[in-house]
Amino acid sequence: MPTGRPDGNDAHPRAPWRDDRHTRVPDLTRRMLVGGLTGLVPSAALARVTAHAPVHAHVPAAAARHVAHPAHAPLHAPAIVGRAAPPKPLVMLDPGHGGKDPGAIGISGTYEKHVAEAAASELQRQLEASGRYRVAMTRADDRFIPLEGRVDIAHSHKASLFISMHADALTNRAVRGASVYTLSSKASDRQTAMLAQTENSADRYGGPQVHADSPEVQEILASLVTEETRHGAAHMASSIVTAFRPRIGLLQHPSRHASFVVLKSADIPSVLVEMGFMSNHMDEAALRQAAHRMVVAGAMVQAIDRYFATDSMVTHATG
């Protein structure tokens, strides 16, 4: 075996060709021992072994003991390192709209972009406080980010889960309640199709060089999403609906799907959460209150816990 202390110092342990009485073993035996290591250790290590061998035939025993066992420098066995814990999954939160894109404007003048950012920040706080997740935001201030850019940010962070948070508006002001959306080339209903069209048009604020993909390209992109990703997104949507039901009002059919550009990642399970509608005065009033946003965030933490508690989801999240 190579000589030298595990701490990397140059002091040498007792030479392997000396017995407990520190008597000289014949040179032939030493050469056989060293030669027998040729196939087991690198040549550099063997060079160190031979270099450390005594050169003179007669070395006083006291001197040999001094070289082999320097004072106060006992040898220690190498530490045994256990299997490292897997990294915590990273949850990417995406507050909708921002900057020159206000999103929906409530009856009392509340901007959706501000509600989305406040709710996402509260969810980030609760997730980080749990100690179970890493969290990143596509935006942490009032700035415009193209839809494609939001997906790119999630990929750059190697996110395990992508959650886009919104509070849109409908022409029917009587409609209220939360809902969850996943990606599909075809909308589940007319209302969802109109909602997706509104969301996908957000890139108009970015000028002519930034635009949502055409319906044909969106359909192709949706077809590229892996079955594992679809399954993960559907599972996450179901978990959110289950967590929301006893605490937050829901639409009659709260789990829906359409061709949302922001959900098009092929390998990151992605959902879009409508926390309510700014076009309904009761939903708008609730979303303006920090206490209500805390309830929404708490329910979503419960849903995220349920999602990652599933073995297949944990495997997907940690590779």
Q: Which residues make beta-bridge pairs with 256? A: 181
Question: Which ranges in 131-189 belong to alpha helices (H)?
Answer: 147-156
pLDDT averaged over the chain? 80
**Is the pLDDT assigned to residue 111 strictly greater than 70?**
yes
Residues 88-101 have pLDDT tens digits of: 999 999 999 999 99
Tell whether the model's pLDDT for residue 152 goes beyond 90.
yes
CB 218 within 8 A of CB 259: yes
Q: Which of residues 15 and 123 earns the better pLDDT score?
A: 123
User: What does the pLDDT look like over 164-197, one tens digit per residue?
Assistant: 999 999 999 999 999 999 998 889 999 999 999 8
How far apart are the C-alpha atoms of 232 and 237, rounded to whole Å? 9
DSSP letter at 1 equals: -
Q: Is the pLDDT of residue 238 over 50?
A: yes
Q: Please check the confidence at residue 222 and state whether its pLDDT lies above 90.
A: no
pLDDT higher at 130 or 310: 130
Higher pLDDT, 52 or 306: 306
Structure tokens at 313: 């989801």
Note the pTM of the prediction, 2 decimals: 0.70
User: According to the per-residue pLDDT averaged within each range, which of 220-224, 249-253, 261-265 is highest?
Assistant: 249-253
